Amino acid sequence: MNRYPAPAQPIVAEMEKAAEAAPQRAVAFQGAPGANSHIAVLEDQTDALPLPCFSFEDAIDAVRDGRAASALIPIENSLHGRVADIHFLLPESGLSITAEFFLPIRYALMGKGDLAEVKQAVSHPQALGQCRKWLRSRNIEPVPYPDTAGAAARVVEINDSAVAAIAPPGAAKIYGLSTLAEALEDSSDNMTRFVRLARSGGAIPNEGPVMTSFIFEVKNVPAALYKALGGFATNGVNMTKLESYQRGASFSATTFFADIVGHPDDPAVARALEELSFYSRSLRLLGTYKQARPRG
């Protein structure tokens, strides 16, 4: 599905053509050319052919349909929290998490006029949130758009000096905009974590620590979550992430997404997962992959 602004469409078409010729090298990402996800693909796999997709669902479909070997999806940001609802996207997709990648995030304001003229900044809600203090200090109105680099292309279409885009600095050159300000992010250590999704998990390297991601739904009984997680504490397994979600409209049960350090075949991890399974209505492993950054 292609709903990109007109200035982005020829670039997208060229990238789609290259990926179609060599799908084994194609890596799907959400966004227009120049987005942070595009940058992440190029830095994560230098020989990859980035395949732009308008939505996260489109990126996952590209992998499921064989048009791409994998997809690189942002799942959390150090300043603004959750990015993609991986707990909704992954379980029904049939894909596995095979790797993680961390990208430092930098933003610039780009437009057709001068900074003093800018009244609105268009960008992805995550980018707007990560630059919230900068925008407030200059009384610039944030305007949500599905993608950062796509917002830059949209600003070209609008052609109004009062409307600028917040996007990665390289997007200005791609779409012929002027860079009006740089380093907009509220913190210099702004970082986004991506996960690579593929049709099969592949072999997990034996050297170095690994991560395992899974989702589970606890039984609707008192202290179920406390009991379900007790096995990780007693077996010394480090849980680095735990998020809760409501699925459906009943609000009768909660689904949790979790990351732990370790392999399911490790005795301690196996015991912890067995105890978790006992107190859960469902448990699904999403992938085991090499740790990209130390935890703890």
Q: Which pLDDT does position 219 carry in this prediction?
A: 84
**Cα–Cα distance for residue pair 238/229, rounded to 1 Å:** 11
**Cα–Cα distance for residue pair 244/222, rounded to 1 Å:** 17
Q: Which pLDDT does position 86 carry in this prediction?
A: 78
Q: Are 214 and 86 spatial neighbours (Cβ–Cβ below 8 Å)?
A: no
Cα 108 to chain center, whole Å? 20
Neighbours of 196 (CB within 10 A): 24
**Cα–Cα distance for residue pair 14/37, rounded to 1 Å:** 18
Q: Which pLDDT does position 250 carry in this prediction?
A: 61
The pair of structure tokens assigned to 88 is 């909704």
Q: Is residue 29 among the annotated active site residues?
A: no
Q: Which pLDDT does position 1 carry in this prediction?
A: 46
Q: Which pLDDT does position 254 carry in this prediction?
A: 81
The pair of structure tokens assigned to 118 is 């800018």
Helix 224-234, helix 267-278: angle, nearest 10: 170
Strands (E), 136-253: 141-144, 163-167, 178-182, 191-198, 210-218, 239-246
One digit per residue, pLDDT tens: the chain, 296 residues? 458 999 999 999 999 999 999 999 999 999 999 999 999 999 999 999 999 999 999 999 999 999 999 999 999 988 888 887 877 888 888 899 999 999 999 999 999 999 999 999 999 998 999 999 999 999 999 999 989 999 999 999 999 999 999 999 999 999 999 999 999 999 888 899 999 999 987 777 666 899 999 999 988 888 889 999 999 999 999 999 999 887 766 666 688 999 999 999 999 999 999 999 999 999 999 999 999 999 86
Distance in angstroms between the alpha carbons of the first and the last residue of the chain: 41
Q: Is residue 56 among the annotated active site residues?
A: no
Buried b (16+ CB within 10 A) or exposed e, 101-134: bebebbbbbbbbeeeeebebbbbbebbbbbbbeb
Q: Which pLDDT does position 82 carry in this prediction?
A: 84
Does the pTM surpass 0.75? The reply is yes
Q: What is the largest CA-CA distance in the chain?
A: 62
Q: Which of 148, 192, 212, 288 is catalytic?
A: 192
Q: Are 185 and 130 spatial neighbours (Cβ–Cβ below 8 Å)?
A: yes
Domains with residue ranges and CATH for the chain: 7-104+190-198 (3.40.190.10), 108-182 (3.40.190.10), 210-290 (3.30.70.260)
Q: Which pLDDT does position 195 carry in this prediction?
A: 96
Q: Which of 101, 194, 232, 256 is catalytic?
A: 194
Looking at residue 46, the DSSP 8-state letter turns out to be T
